Amino acid sequence: MAHVLVTGGAGYIGSHACKALKQAGFTPVVYDNLVTGWKDAVKFGPFEQGDLNDRVRLDQVFAKYQPTAVMHFAALSQVGEAMSQPGRYWANNVGGSLNLIEASVAAGVTDFVFSSTCATYGEHDNVVLDENTPQLPLNAYGASKRAVEDILTDFEAAHGLLSVVFRYFNVAGADPEAEVGEFHRPETHLVPLVLDAIDGKHDSLTIFGTDYDTPDGTCIRDYVHVCDLVDAHVLGLKWLQDGKGSRVFNLGTGTGFSVREVMDKAAVVTGKDVPCNTGARRAGDCTKLVSGSTRAASELGWEPRRSTLETMIHDAWKWHKTGHYEA
Ligand code: UDP
C-alpha cells in the first residue's frame, strides 16, 4: 500500500485523517513531535517521532518509507497564543513547513496536501468568503498559514510541487466510533470547553465577547465535522494523483452558528445546562467566519455527512465521555 506521510498525525485532525487514509487503502506514516499530539492517537500506521525543524530526521523518514504524498497537519493553531507568542508561530508553522516542503521536494514527492485556515481571510464585513477573497489575517496564526500557501505557490513554479490547500472553518466532533477524538491540553476550543463545563471539568465556560455585531452579540463560526473534513483530504489526495493540479478549497458548510447557539445545542444534546459567564473579547477573533464557497462540493465531489451541529456535538460528547489519551 502507498505510504502517505502525515505530519501532526498524533493530533486531533491528523489522527482522524490517518483513519480515513487507512480505510481508503493508504498506509499513513505519522510524523509528530508529540508537543501537542499523543502517541496513543497513532493507531492506523507506523509512528516516527520528530520535529518539522529537524531536516536530518525528516530525510531519514522520507528515505525509510518513500511516501508518495505528504499531508501536512502539524502546526500550532491557537489564536490567543498566536497573539501573545507570534514568534513560535512563525518558527514552527512557517519555518517548520518550509523545511518539510524542501525535504519533500528533495525526496521527489510531488503531491502535497496542506491544512490552511479561514483565519487567513480576516475580517470582511458582508463579504462572501470564497477562495478568491483577499487574505488579510488578523493574527499570527492566520498569517503563518497564508505564508505557507505562498511558499507552496513558489515551490510549484520552481520545483513542480503540486498542492491541494484546504482552508478549514471550525473543526468539531470526533470519530463516531470514538477510536480517536479531540484532546488538547490545555483545551482552548469552544465545543470541548462547553462539554467540559457541562460535566464539571471546569467551573464554567467564559463567552469571549457579547458585544459583536451579530444577532445575539457573540461570534459566529462555520462548524464542520472532523470526519467530513478528513474525507475531503482523501479526495484531495486523489485529485492530485489524478493529475488535476494545484487547487485551493474552503472546507465549511456555509452555515454559521453563534457561541450561544453552540451552547444551546450542547444543552439539548446532553440534556444538561452549560454553566457560563461572559468575558471580554479575545484578541484576534473575527466577528464572523462562514464559508461562501461550494467549490469542494462541485469539484472534489465532497459531501459532508455528519456536519450538523447536533451530530458534531453528539459525537464529541461520546468521545468526551469515553476517550482520552495518556501522555
Ligand atoms: N470561544 C469562547 N469561549 C471559549 C473558547 C472560544 O467564547 O472558551 C469563542 C471564540 O471567541 C470564537 C469561537 O468560540 O468566537 C470559536 O473559538 P475556537 O477557539 O473554538 O476556534 P477559532 O474560531 O478560534 O478557530
Same domain, 210 and 121: no
Same domain, 209 and 288: yes
pLDDT of residue 203: 84
The boundaries of the domain holding residue 282 are 190-222+254-321
Q: Ligand 1 pocket check: which of 187, 221, 258, 260 to mutate, most ligand atoms within 8 Å of Cβ? A: 221
Q: What is the mean pLDDT of residues 174-197?
A: 94
d(CA 125, CA 141): 21
> Which of 40-49, 245-254, 279-288 shows the lowest mean pLDDT across its residues?
279-288
Q: Is residue 122 part of a domain?
A: yes
Contact 312/223 with Cβ under 8 angstroms? yes
d(CA 165, CA 247): 6
Mean residue pLDDT across the chain: 95
Q: Is residue 182 part of a domain?
A: no
Whether 327 has a pLDDT exceeding 70, the answer reads no
Q: Is residue 326 part of a domain?
A: no
**Atom from ligand 1 closest to the CA of residue 208:** 7
**Nearest CA, atom 6, ligand 1:** 190
Tell me the pLDDT tens digit for each residue of 116-174.
Answer: 999 999 888 767 899 999 999 989 999 999 999 999 999 999 999 999 999 999 999 99
Same domain, 120 and 229: yes
Q: Is residue 232 part of a domain?
A: yes
Q: What is the CATH number of the domain that holds 231?
A: 3.40.50.720
Query: If you measure from the C-alpha of residue 282 to the centroid of ligand 1, how many angstroms do you get, rounded to a whole number?
Result: 8
Tell me the pLDDT tens digit for each residue of 57-74.
Answer: 999 999 999 999 999 999
Same domain, 71 and 165: yes
Q: What is the mean pLDDT of residues 170-193?
A: 94
Q: What is the mean pLDDT of residues 253-278?
A: 97
Query: If you measure from the C-alpha of residue 322 to the centroid of ligand 1, how many angstroms do you get, rounded to a whole number?
Result: 24
**Atom from ligand 1 closest to the CA of residue 279:** 7
Same domain, 212 and 117: no
pLDDT of residue 74: 98
Give all strands of the β-sheet with 47-49 in edge-to-edge order.
Answer: 47-49, 27-32, 3-7, 69-72, 111-117, 162-168, 247-251
Same domain, 204 and 111: no
Specify whether 325 is catalytic.
no
Q: Ligand 1 pocket check: which of 116, 259, 260 to mutate, most ligand atoms within 8 Å of Cβ? A: 259
pLDDT of residue 167: 98
pLDDT of residue 1: 78
Q: Find the DSSP H helices in 5-88.
A: 12-23, 55-65, 79-84, 86-88
Handedness of CA 103, 105, 106, 107 (dihedral sign): positive
Same domain, 244 and 305: no
Smallest CA-to-CA distance from 215 within 274, 271, 152, 287 is with 287
d(CA 181, CA 54): 28
Q: Which of 204, 236, 251 is the last residue of a domain?
A: 251
Same domain, 15 and 99: yes
Which residue is catalytic, options 31, 65, 89, 141? 141
d(CA 36, CA 187): 11
Query: If you measure from the C-alpha of residue 131 to the centroid of ligand 1, how many angstroms do you get, rounded to a whole number?
Result: 23
Same domain, 116 and 163: yes
Tell me the pLDDT tens digit for each residue of 297-313.
Answer: 999 999 999 999 999 99
d(CA 52, CA 56): 10
Same domain, 65 and 214: no
pLDDT of residue 184: 86
Residue 186: asked if its preceding bond is cis (omega within 30°), the reply is yes
Same domain, 9 and 143: yes
pLDDT of residue 285: 86
pTM of the predicted protein model: 0.96
For residue 117, give the H/E element and its range.
Answer: strand 111-117
When divided into structural domains, the chain yields a total of 2
Same domain, 208 and 110: no
